[in-house]
Amino acid sequence: MPLPAARIERLPRYVFDIIGESIRALQQRGIDVYRLDIGNPDMPPPPAIIETLAEAARNPRLHGYSGYRGTPEYRRAVARYYQRRYGVDLQPDTEVLPLIGSKEGIVNLSLAYLDHGDLALVPDVGYPSYSMGAYLAGAEVHWLPMRPESGFLPDLHNIPPDVLSRAKILWLNYPNNPTSAVAPLSFYEQAVAFCARYGLLLASDNPYNDIVFDGYTAPSPLQIPGAKDFTVEFMSLSKSHNMAGWRMGAVVGSSVALGRLLQIKSNVDSGHFLPIYEAATMALDEIPDAWIAERNAIYQRRRDLLLAALPQMGLAAPRPLATLYTWATPLDMPAADYLRRALDEAHVSLGPGAAYGPGGENNIRISISLPDARFEEAVDRLVTWYTRRGA
Ligand SMILES: Cc1ncc(COP(=O)(O)O)c(C=O)c1O
């Protein structure tokens, strides 16, 4: 066998792949592991979406290749969604590009823009695909610290000039995974002005925009006048409509950036199964806000249950206004010990903060995407383990 490509050396194994291995080892010993480590919606999509998929799958005309830009109906539905949700106008044929989940789009955008010697500005902490995409492209990462005292918003004014001269992409993600922080529109104004000044592509990753609590509404940088010339935003139905396994999303914004991304994608993939486009079009056009609000009320109850129990679990965390996550700090032991003991002794798997960047070493990400009864049991287990723990 030949040796693998050098780029593999720079790429760590995906963290959830590694966590999955420890969990499987416990499961093979007959142990029931509660997974609060992963953000995987536990509830199904609305039945009408599934019926649309089933009906479309029975149509013999919908089994061929779907084309590299997806269907015009889906692109138009995404544009209507942006108009309704943010008041943002998008040209469906040039400013909307379907993605096979936003993850591939994030990595492929990096391949479209970054070369050896280039830099991506990546939040530390953040979703791993921003840095991994840069590494895959042979480029480097400049970490932007995300500090609780600044609301987990990066300081864009203290980036060294030699970094700015090599940087091409600024990654932002609000509502944020893993910290659950949100950004006001005024922060996007600053970020758009910053990218305009330094000739950067602003890449906003926004899959949690509709997982919100306490009446919060998440904005988009595309609401800032002029942003569309150099901004793209990734949207996804994975979390908003409980469709994570369907791999349905889109990137919207700068037609120039979308064209370059399409140049990569059209050489790599051949689009979705057409019935998925039909169902996703229906989801964006017809699933009422009331369904989203009802689903969010379930997440909000879990969030409240978790927040109330945190002190008895030896953890502290800011109150999330959005996302599936709570970003917790252990009060009296290193995060790595907490994670290991929670798994070995309480059989609850939690997300290691270090997986989201060097700044996450002292943190633990707790997901609320487990059915109510199991979620409550998992919280009880952590409380019982922590209160009775030995040295
Ligand atoms: C911040 C962030 N971006 C992107 C993704 C990828 O989502 P998708 O299912 O659309 O690929 C996730 C998934 O968890 C995420 O948390």
Q: Is residue 298 part of a domain?
A: yes
- Residue 208 DSSP symbol: T
Verify that 36 and 85 share a domain, yes or no: no
Q: Is residue 108 part of a domain?
A: yes
- Residue 23 sits in a domain whose CATH number is 3.90.1150.10
Verify that 108 and 180 share a domain, yes or no: yes
pLDDT single digits (tens) 209-234: 999 999 999 999 999 999 999 999 99
Q: Is 242 in the pocket of ligand 1 (CB under 6 A)?
A: no
Per DSSP, the three-state class of 207 is coil
Verify that 219 and 353 share a domain, yes or no: no
Q: Which residue lies with its CA nearest to atom 16 of ligand 1?
A: 177
- Residue 148 sits in a domain whose CATH number is 3.40.640.10
Plot region of 85 (φ>0 → left; ψ -120 to 50 → alpha; else → beta):
alpha
Closest ligand 1 atom to the C-alpha of 39? Answer: 14
Verify that 222 and 343 share a domain, yes or no: no
Verify that 382 and 350 share a domain, yes or no: yes
The 10 Å Cβ neighbour count of residue 166 is 13
Closest ligand 1 atom to the C-alpha of 205? Answer: 3
CA neighbours closer than 13 Å in the CB half-sphere of residue 260: 16
Mutate to test the pocket of ligand 1, among 16, 99, 132, 236 (most ligand atoms within 8 A of CB): 236
39 CA to middle of ligand 1, Å?
Answer: 9
Q: Final residue of a domain: which of 237, 265, 286? A: 286
Q: Final residue of a domain: which of 286, 304, 326? A: 286
Q: Is residue 255 part of a domain?
A: yes
Q: Is 369 in the pocket of ligand 1 (CB under 6 A)?
A: no
Count: domains in the chain: 2
pLDDT at 338: 96
pLDDT at 116: 95
Q: Final residue of a domain: which of 286, 312, 333? A: 286
Contact present, 378 and 367 (Cβ < 8 Å): no
pLDDT in 10s for each residue of the chain, 391 residues: 998 898 888 787 777 777 788 899 999 999 999 999 999 999 999 999 999 999 999 999 999 999 999 999 999 999 999 999 999 999 999 999 999 999 999 999 999 999 999 999 999 999 999 999 999 999 999 999 999 999 999 999 999 999 999 999 999 999 999 999 999 999 999 999 999 999 999 999 999 999 999 999 999 999 999 999 999 999 999 999 999 999 999 999 999 999 999 999 999 999 999 999 999 999 999 999 999 999 999 999 999 999 999 999 999 999 999 999 999 999 999 999 999 999 999 999 999 999 999 999 999 999 999 999 999 999 999 999 999 987 6
207 CA to middle of ligand 1, Å?
Answer: 6
63 CA to middle of ligand 1, Å?
Answer: 27
Q: Is residue 1 part of a domain?
A: no
What would the DSSP string read from start to end of 290-333?
HHHHHHHHHHHHHHHHHHHHGGGGTEE-PPPSBSSEEEEEESSS
Verify that 17 and 118 share a domain, yes or no: no
Verify that 263 and 159 share a domain, yes or no: yes
In the chain, the amino acid numbered 36 is L
How far apart, in whole angstroms, are the C-alpha atoms of residue 101 and residue 123? 21
Domain, as residue range, for 275: 47-286
Q: Is 323 in the pocket of ligand 1 (CB under 6 A)?
A: no
pLDDT single digits (tens) 35-90: 999 999 999 999 999 999 999 999 999 999 999 999 999 999 999 999 999 999 99
How far apart, in whole angstroms, are the C-alpha atoms of residue 276 and residue 346? 39
Verify that 68 and 28 share a domain, yes or no: no
Contact present, 303 and 191 (Cβ < 8 Å): no
pLDDT at 19: 77
Q: Is residue 133 part of a domain?
A: yes
Verify that 167 and 231 share a domain, yes or no: yes
pLDDT at 143: 97
Verify that 314 and 216 share a domain, yes or no: no
Q: What is the pTM of this model?
A: 0.96
Verify that 56 and 22 share a domain, yes or no: no
Q: Is 101 in the pocket of ligand 1 (CB under 6 A)?
A: yes
Closest ligand 1 atom to the C-alpha of 104? Answer: 11
Torsion of CA 319, 321, 322, 323, to 10 degrees: 0
Q: Is 238 in the pocket of ligand 1 (CB under 6 A)?
A: yes
322 CA to middle of ligand 1, Å?
Answer: 14
328 strand-pairing partners: 364
Verify that 257 and 371 share a domain, yes or no: no
